[in-house]
Structure formats: structure tokens, C-alpha cells
Amino acid sequence: MLVKGYPMRNLRSRSKLILILIAAVGITMVSGSAGVWTFAEEGSGSGLPEGFKKGDLPPLPPAEMIEAGKRVYFTKCVWCHGVDGAGDGPSADRLWPRPRNFNQGTFKIRHTASGELPLFDYRKPTPGQNDLFETVTHGLPGSAMPSWEGILTEEQRLQVLSFVTTQLVKDRRYDDKETETLTMLQLDSIKPIPPSKESIEKGAQLVVDKKCIECHGINGRGDGNAFNLKDDWGFPIQPASWHKCWNFRGSRQDAYNVKNIFRTFSTGVNGTPMPSFADNTTVEERWHIANFVQSLCERDTNGEPLPIDPLTDKPKVNFVIRSGPVEGDIPDDPQHELWQKRERRIVLFGGQITHKPRNFVNRIDDVWVRSIYNNKTIAFMFQWEDRSKSVAEKKLPFQPTEVNLDTYGIKEQPPKTGEPDSIAANQNKYTVYNDAFAFQFPVKWQELPPPEKPRFLWGDEKYHVDITKWSADGSLKAFTGSGWDQDFEDRDDFTEKMKLLKAEWKDGLWTLMIQRPIKGDYDEDTYFEMGKYIPTVFFAWDGHNGDIGRKMAVSAFYYTILEPPIPKETYIYPTLIAVGVVILEGWVLTRRANKKKGKI
């Protein structure tokens, strides 16, 4: 029996209670390159999956459209997808996931049955009826494939797809009626099941019954089978995190639309281990699964979807980290009400690609931050997804203060065109280092002439920075940074004053809580002042990704501010005024009544 009585915004806790009862069992996932459908009739007993309908192959584009599309392709697309469309362009090896190899005709996001070609008709760019056009229009969030709307005209998008589908898809043909069929999911005509509590609970049970958790993990963070899966081209691939719907490849820039999830479960993701569930689930069951998965996506404190920035396809960012005042000791329990009632901010990461060794394959793309302070210390709580807990297997040969690690053999892997020995092919083969997290503030930030700031990457010679760094080996240290290529300076005295409140990895999520003094040595330590905006930069290292030294994830500049406490008078005066108003109003009404009675 599923756990009942939980509101939607607490579904993560509920699903955890349900799923933790299930033991992980090995499963061989169905390949995305299954055979095509050949059934000709619709409806029960036709052999078609429920919710699908037989369609006709589209006509081939005219020669002039193909030729025009060729010009667009060799202007805009060749750099990633390559001259022959094999996903091996000059920039391909620095991208992960790799650009699509068109040659086999294997496309991920479709309204067609598993293994079939996607919908494409050069005559009608209609939403839901032209998969490839929508991919080019909206891009593939969570990958390097951008939205081309506003860059290419509608006509140019149809032209380039005419070229791709006829000239670069080499192993299949849209007009091959002997081997190709189109079996279309009737998404617009299938009535959705509302995301009720009952539906979500049924979905939570179904992802267990259908063994979804064996890849996606107990809490849906993609940590179930993070390092053993490969796509049809032999590249490592990781299951999606259900908590980041904005990264779903087929979200079509509509991250919280449950129909996109229903479509994915119905059609599968060709070329990946994600199968279609159309044959072993009913339409109703797929809606329950989709409602459950969609319920896990991050929301605000009111349970509402996060606003998505249309330029980045990520949650909109507020660059101010507000630290709230508390009285007494700072709790080390992340579920304590002092932490839970604090607003959280999402900090977005990108790979550090300014200085070698660069991080072109970045696996940590955001962290959630909360902060509180008392009269002596300030504390931060960081939570970020990481599909594995990484701790170095042996003692590292270099000191924590060293940043130039070339002499230890830690160098950037050169890009290589093609599949063997490429950066993408070498994922999961790196030396494992410690997961780590750090944040920096300027030293003597009060003296910075606006808008000047220290360099975001560990300061510079003129403006030093105060760095707090934690590593998964349990260490927490304070350093002074004076430049991207300058070794850190150890601040042992300040290190002794810091406190690691919590560092826990569980089910694909790191929770890190660090406490440090508000005030220290003005010349060496960041000196926090109430109501002032202090430039802040965050860093993260995924040890399983070979992240060490300058190979890391880094944020833009954010700003930390200590919110002033609300004076007690703020609560007292309104109360006194309200009482006074009530007394005055009573006196006026009494006097008026007495006057009518002739007593006055």
C-alpha cells in the first residue's frame, strides 16, 4: 500500500519511503534501435500499441529544397555534425553528449514508435506532426544543441532538414515502403489524466514495478546505473535526473509539460538504453508514470514550477544569496526549521574552459544554496546532484595548496575527431579524485573601487580572495588565492575556526553544511558586514569525472548579503496601533450611541 496524505511538494519524501523498500535487481534494457512497426490497422486487436495510429510515409523534398538546405548545413551545422553528418565535426569531441550521427537514421525525440524514423514533412512545420522541425526549432535542452528559432527562418529550418533526411541519413530512406513505416502516437487526442495525489502515488509504484529505478535511482536522480550504460555508438550515457525537467532533451522549451514525459515513455529514446513502454503499459499507466516523474521536478516553496529563462532553458537566476539572522546556535540538521524556512537560490555552473586543463565535459550544472548567520558565525548549506560519491583511492601526490599539476601528469586530453579515444569515449575511465566544493569572497572587499572585482578564478595579484574548500576525504580548509596559476596560501589559523556541520552523499545528492566566523583578520579573511553585497564565486569538482585542480565547474559572480534582523519594534508598534485603533473606534461608537439616547 502506498503512503498517503502527503501534499504534492512533499512527493520526494513520499517516493523515497516507497522506493527504499525495493532492492536493486539487474536488468538488461531494451535497445532504442528496435525493429519498425508494420501493422496497418488501428484500434484494439490491431497489433498497434495503445494510443498509436498507423500513418503514411511523407513525400521526399524537391531537389531545390535539398540544395538550399545543403548551403544552410555547411554554414551552421557542419561544425558539430561533420561533413558527412557522422557527428564528428571539429567541435564534436569537446561536446558531451556528442552531436547526433545522422547516418543510421537514429533520432531520439519522436512521436513515432520505438525504432522508427521521426516525423518530418517539408510541407508542414506543425507542432506534434514534425519532430525534426521541432528539434531544430527548440533545440535539445541539457545538450549543446541550441534553439535555431530566430537564427534560421522557418523555411531555412525545413530546407536543412530536407538535406539531412535525404543526403546524410544513409542507412534508411523515408520513401522505402518495404522496410519503413510510421506508427504515430496520438498525443493530442489522448485525454490526459490529471496529476492528482492518487495518480502520482500509482506512478510512484509503477516506476518500481517497471524497474525504472534501476537506472534512474531510488529518488530519481539518475544514480541507479550511472556508469555502465552506453548509447548505440558506444559512448557512455547517463540516465536523466527526474528532478531537472529543464534538462529533458525532449522538453521542447516547455519543461513542466507532462505530455513530453508521456511521449518519452510511450516512444522510448532511440539510440539509448531508454526503451518504449508502449507494449507493457496501458495509456492510463503511462499517464500515472508521467505525472509522478513530473511531480519530482524542482519547485518553489509554494509547490509551483520554477520560472524558466527562455535564453538558457534553465531556471531563472537571482544573483543575490541572502543570509538570514538567527538567534542561538546554528543547527546542523538540514531539516531544521531555521534552514527549511530560509529561501534557497540556484547557482548555475559551467565547465572551466579558460585555462588548461579545461573542463569541456561538465557533470555538475547547478547547486542550491541556503545561508543563515548569528552574532558570531555565518553558515551555508549546499545541495547538488552527483551520481556517485567519489573519494580518491589512494593519497594524492600533491598538496592541497598546489594548483599547477602538470608535473604530476594531470593534463588536458587533446580533442580527437572520431569515436575511438575521444573525450566522450573516455568518460568513466578517468582516475577518480575526491568530490569537492569551494567558494570565495574578496579579502578587503570594502576597498574595491566599483565595479572592480577580483578575478573570478581564485583572485589575482592585486586583489586576493578568501577561499573555503571542502573535499570528500573529510578535509575543510581555508586558503588565500592570488591568481589562477598561483598556488594557494594555507590559512591554518582560520581553518581551525571553521566547522563542518554536515557532509553527506545519499541517493545521488550531496548535502554540505559549512560554518565560518563572520569576522577574522581584516587583511587575510573576509570581514562580513550587515547589508553589504559581497562578490561570491562557487566551484565544484566531480571526482569520477577526473576533476582536479583547474578542471572543475565554476559559477559566475553572485553576491552574498547579511540581511539585518527585523527590529522587535516592527512587531510591537503595529500591534499597539491596532489596539489603539480598536479602543478609539469603540469609544467613538459608544459616544455616538449615548448621544442618540440623550445621555450626552
In the predicted model, what is the mean pLDDT of residues 441-450? 94
User: How much is the mean pLDDT over the chain?
Assistant: 89
One domain for residues 181 and 268: no
One domain for residues 518 and 587: no
Dist CA 423 CA 36 (whole Å): 33
The residue type at 261: I
Say if residue 431 is exposed, middle or buried (CB neighbours under 10 Å; 0-12, 13-18, 19+).
middle
In the predicted model, what is the mean pLDDT of residues 334-360? 96
pLDDT at 25 over 70: no
Looking at residue 165, the DSSP 8-state letter turns out to be I
Dist CA 458 CA 485 (whole Å): 9
Last residue of a domain, one of 296, 312, 337: 296
* 36 belongs to a structural domain: no
Last residue of a domain, one of 296, 331, 362: 296
Domain count, the chain: 4
The model's pLDDT over 241-260, given as tens digits with 9 standing for 90+, comes to 999 999 999 999 999 999 99
One domain for residues 375 and 480: yes
**Helix orientation angle between 197-209 and 11-19, rounded to the nearest 10 degrees:** 30
| Helix (H) or strand (E) run with residue 366 in it | strand 366-373
| pLDDT at res. 573 | 60
One domain for residues 545 and 469: yes
In the predicted model, what is the mean pLDDT of residues 114-133? 94
* 312 belongs to a structural domain: no
| Lowest mean pLDDT segment, chosen from 25-29, 54-58, 277-281, 574-578 | 25-29
pLDDT at 240 over 50: yes
* 441 belongs to a structural domain: yes
| pLDDT at res. 446 | 94
The residue type at 88: D
| pLDDT at res. 336 | 98
One domain for residues 517 and 395: yes
Q: pTM (2 decimals)?
A: 0.88
| pLDDT at res. 22 | 37
* 18 belongs to a structural domain: yes
What are the DSSP E strand ranges found in 229-357?
A: 308-309, 314-315, 320-325, 345-351
* 231 belongs to a structural domain: yes
The model's pLDDT over 209-219, given as tens digits with 9 standing for 90+, comes to 999 999 999 99
Q: How confident is the model at residue 417 (pLDDT cuts 50, 70, 90)?
A: low
* Greatest mean pLDDT range, 24-33, 384-393, 447-456: 384-393
Cβ atoms of residues 457 and 447 within 8 Å: no
In the predicted model, what is the mean pLDDT of residues 420-425? 77
| pLDDT at res. 24 | 34
The model's pLDDT over 463-486, given as tens digits with 9 standing for 90+, comes to 999 999 999 999 999 999 999 999
Q: How many other CB atoms sit within 10 Å of the CB of residue 352?
A: 23
Among candidates 433, 432, 441, which has minimal Cα distance to 471? 433
Q: Which three cell numbers stand for residue 538?
A: 562557487
Residue 161: CATH number of its domain: 1.10.760.10
Dist CA 590 CA 438 (whole Å): 67
One domain for residues 529 and 577: no
One domain for residues 553 and 578: no
| pLDDT at res. 32 | 34
One domain for residues 181 and 207: no
Dist CA 221 CA 215 (whole Å): 9
One domain for residues 242 and 341: no
One domain for residues 149 and 65: yes
In percent, the amount of the chain with pLDDT more than 70 equals 90
Cβ atoms of residues 390 and 396 within 8 Å: no
* Greatest mean pLDDT range, 18-27, 185-194, 586-595: 185-194
- Domain of residue 525: give its range: 320-413+421-562
Sign of the dihedral through C-alpha 357, 362, 365, 369: negative
Distance of CA 46 to the CA centre of its chain: 40
| pLDDT at res. 569 | 58
**CB contact set of 242 (below 8 Å; sequence gap of 6+):** 216, 220, 221, 222, 293, 296, 297
Dist CA 73 CA 65 (whole Å): 12
More confident call, 93 vs 575: 93
Q: How confident is the model at residue 313 (pLDDT cuts 50, 70, 90)?
A: very high
Please give the backbone phi and psi of residue 577, each rounded to the nearest 5 degrees, phi first: -65, -45
More confident call, 371 vs 44: 371
The model's pLDDT over 501-538, given as tens digits with 9 standing for 90+, comes to 999 999 999 999 999 999 988 899 999 999 999 999 99
More confident call, 135 vs 97: 135
pLDDT at 197 over 60: yes
- C-alpha radius of gyration, the chain, whole number: 28
| pLDDT at res. 599 | 62
One domain for residues 199 and 59: no
One domain for residues 168 and 240: no
Q: Across the chain, which distance is largest between two alpha carbons, in Å?
A: 105
| pLDDT at res. 61 | 97
| pLDDT at res. 385 | 98
* 35 belongs to a structural domain: no
